[in-house]
Structure 1
Amino acid sequence: MAPFLLVFALAFLAPIGYAIGLSLFREQAFFGGSTFVGFDNYIQVLGDSKFWESFARVSVFLVVQVPIMLLLALVAALAIDSARLHAAGFFRIVIFLPYAVPAVVATLIWGYIYGDTFGLAADINGLLGSKTLVPLSGDWVLFSIGNIVTWEFIGYNMLIFYSALKIIPKDLYEAAAIDGAGAFRTITSVKLPALRGSIVVATIFSIIGSFQLFNEPNILRPLTPNAISTYYTPNMYAYNLSFNGQQYNYSATVAILMGVITTVIALIVQLRGSRKGA
């Protein structure tokens, strides 16, 4: 295990330790250098309205987008697993294909579709004679980003659910058929209970992904700078603090705090999902 532990320490533990170290110092504006400030940066972040605004935004994104995405993925997996769906292999590939598209490319594709002066949205508005469809406006941009993420990751989650469905023992289906269970009862009494573990895993991955939201809003920002700010998500806030503002210590503090919050929420979901009879 020594080679793995060495790579793990260098690629995972060392960056985390370095970030924690940065978060405990603060750059001196006039004299240069940095000074140890303990937890002052964390106290400052806890009172930072920009941080909490970005955190609230990704929380709304999580609460709305993740259930929709997982429900669609679950329906797709159940449909493909059903013997009643013709060309199941074709639909499995089609649904999974968007996940194979890099996030940057996917966002550029949808950005072209969303553009209200070019692309599909502009064409529809031209046909209607008014700006009815404006996906990149301030009121709709978060939902537009949610649509992109859902399109990207339905196939990934569908594959998780489908893989879990394929390992359900055939004896359970035979017992359900003997008891007179129909298709809907088989789903609720056999398939969904067997999918519980995979649903928990997919939910945890989705929670982590929601709090790490960065690529989609960052790429769309040039198209709608008034709707997507530099602190639109916590990751964008940390990125811009570091690379545009050279506030490396404060940026590390934001990143560490978000990592702790994400870990706690994911752990709660895992413990809740692993409870028997929950």
Structure 2
Amino acid sequence: MTTLRSETVKPVAVAPPRRRRHGSVLPVLLVAPAVLLLVLFTFAPAVYAFVLSVLKVQVTGGLLGTSTAQVFAGFENYVDTLADPEFWDSLGRMLIIAVIGVPATLFFATLFALCLDANRARLTGIWRLAIFLPYAVPGVIASLLWGFLYLPATSPIGGQFIDYFGNTGIFFAVANVATWGVIGFNMVVLFTAVRAIPKEIFDAAQIDGASELQIALRIKLPMIAPALSMVALFSVIGALQLFNEPTTLKPLTNAISSTWVPLMRVYSDAFVNNNIYGGAASAFTLLVMTVAATVLVNVIGNRISKRSAR
């Protein structure tokens, strides 16, 4: 009788696969140009602006004042900027335009995105292009076109009866130009987010008897909350960078001064009044405010997105 012996099979050690070196280098090479451009055209100018903001020109040479020299000024330029009432007035005017433009941008961009995604929508490609087209028009040209539409002598939209260039109407006029130019881009962002939602969710909602309006309000809107937060962030940053529209409309009305919004004040200080150090302090102050507003909007958007996901 043969006795069978059970032998223990030892596992064979398998060497781990070798990582390819070019696999870790390739992402770095792809990202490097973007990082380089970011450093050269964003971080470097910001650092240079901060350096200029803590300097000032001091006249030397006794009573004759024969020469000038750059000296360290500390935070003197920042104190002058924050103590200037016109800086706060320009900031307030910018906030008024933001209060008008940002909700309007979110509303119309979301409305167009949901309408284009509706089952009954036809010729969506043409409508999507038509809505996006204003974004391709440069801001200066768009402001000139709207300026002619606002002028009473040439206006086909009631310029004879509505004072678009009045002290109150100018806020809506500028906000309209700024909003008209960015709705198309934001609509594309939101439309892409809506199209990324699985279609099975809509089919299940329709089987349960949900109407298209209910699907849009109770399913689509909560699921594109992160995209809405991003659009809101873009809109706030754009409002803080308002410059082209009021500068282009300035020759057409007395309601817009050379320091009407903060960036116009920075330009006036640096390149008109030859106060480049004060302009740098104003620009860096606006940069800090922009970063703070960005962080605040991002935090609020993340909280809204988390609540919508529950």
TM-score (norm 1): 0.92
Residue matched to 2:144: 108
- State the distance in 1 between where 2:289 and 2:191 align: 30
CA gap of 1:15–1:133, structure 2 versus 1, over 3 A, is same
Q: Quote how far apart the aligned CAs of 1:205 are.
A: 0.6
- Superposition pairs for residues 248-259 of structure 1, below 5 Å? 248-259=276-287
1:49 aligns with 2:85: yes
Change in 2 beyond 3 A, CA 1:7/1:145? closer
* Identity across the alignment (%): 36
1:274 deviates by: 0.9
In the aligned structure 2, how far is the partner of 1:203 from the partner of 1:7?
25
Deviations, residues 203-255 of structure 1 (Å, cap 9, x unaligned): 0111011011000100111111x210011000000011111011111101111
Answer yes or no: is 1:217 the counterpart of 2:246. yes
1:22 aligns with 2:52: yes
1:120 is the counterpart of 2:155: yes
Cα displacement (A) at 1:9: 2.5
Corresponding residue for 1:65? 101
Q: Structure 1: where are the runs of 5+ without partners?
A: 126-130
User: What residue in structure 2 maps to residue 8 of structure 1?
Assistant: 38
1:170-181 paired onto structure 2 within 5 Å: 170-181=199-210
Flag structure 2 segments of 5+ consecutive residues without an equivalent.
1-27, 60-64
1:98 match: 134
2:194 alignment partner in structure 1: 165
User: Would the aligned equivalents of 2:109 and 2:186 in 1 still touch at CA under 8 Å?
Assistant: yes
CA offset digits 1:101-141 (Å, max 9, x no partner): 1111111111111113x3116x956xxxxx52221122211
- The AA in structure 2 aligned to 1:109 is L
Match of 1:242 in 2: 270
Give the AA of the match of 2:206.
Answer: A
- Give the number of the structure with larger relative contact order, counting CA–CA contacts within 8 Å between residues 6 or more apart: 1
User: How far, CA to CA, are the matches of 1:17 and 1:262 in structure 2?
Assistant: 16
Instruction: Give me the CA root mean square deviation.
Output: 1.7
Q: Tell me how far apart the structure 1 counterparts of residues 42 and 187 of structure 2 sit (CA, whole Å).
A: 29
TM-score (normalizing by structure 2)? 0.82
Rg larger for: 2
User: How many residues get paired?
Assistant: 270
Mapped to 1, the partners of 2:183 and 2:210 lie a distance apart of 29
Write 1 or 2 for the structure with the bigger share of helix.
1
